[in-house]
Amino acid sequence: MCIRPDLGFIAFVGLHHTLPDGLSGRYYWNFMQIGDVSDPDHWLHKASPQEKLNRVLSAISDMPAELREIFEQTPVEGVRPESHVWRDIELDSLPTTRVVLVGDAAHAMTPFRGEGGYHTLVDTLLLGEIFRNMNNDAKFNDPVIFEKAITAYNKEMLQRGRKAVQDSRNLHGNAGRVGPDGKPLVVEMTPLSDVEIKLGING
């Protein structure tokens, strides 16, 4: 994840899958900017893949070479024709019914903190524990106990999910803050010691 408010974009790079040689792989990236895509004249609605790639390459031109590489090696055929609009959701409450929500269905969030998958796992673990306990104690046949358990799950899940949604949204907003000198405020980086990484099938 690269958040550069001074350059006007956020970028995310990920590994899609490793190739059989164990030394290379297929990568993907997202280039994100704030914009009103509901505007029918928004440039993305009419831009060709080449125009999209050119805009990205222009925006990253001031970045170090090692950070530009993934974008510069992308062929125009690798630019998807459609655009993706990130939206999030904050739910205040949920009914206690036979349908129980987990993950993005309950707290879809922007990817800026990388927490969406994490909270999905937490949701399913907590829900699984509820079902296990109810099954062990044969409480599934008692609708009052079942409703109470799901109501408690929904309450905790929505509170935790809402905070994660807001934190993810605010991370992008906070990235645009600047100090008295006009330069972006950045989080102090903690240096890590060099660690040898061995690539390969037997690495």
116 and 100 Cβ atoms separated by less than 8 Å: no
Angle between helices 65-72 and 49-59 (to 10 degrees): 180
Q: Which helix (H) or strand (E) holds 18?
A: strand 9-18
Residue 91 one-letter amino acid: L
Whole-number average pLDDT of the chain? 85
The pTM of the full predicted model, rounded to 2 decimals, is: 0.68
pLDDT at 139 > cutoff 80: no
Backbone angles phi, psi at 37, to 5 degrees: -75, -5
pLDDT at 153: 96
> What residue segments make up the domains of the chain, in order of their start?
2-78, 104-174
pLDDT in tens, 17-28: 999 998 889 999
pLDDT at 50 > cutoff 90: yes
Length of the chain: 203
Task: Please tell me the distance from the alpha carbon of residue 148 to that of residue 143, in angstroms, as a whole number.
Answer: 8
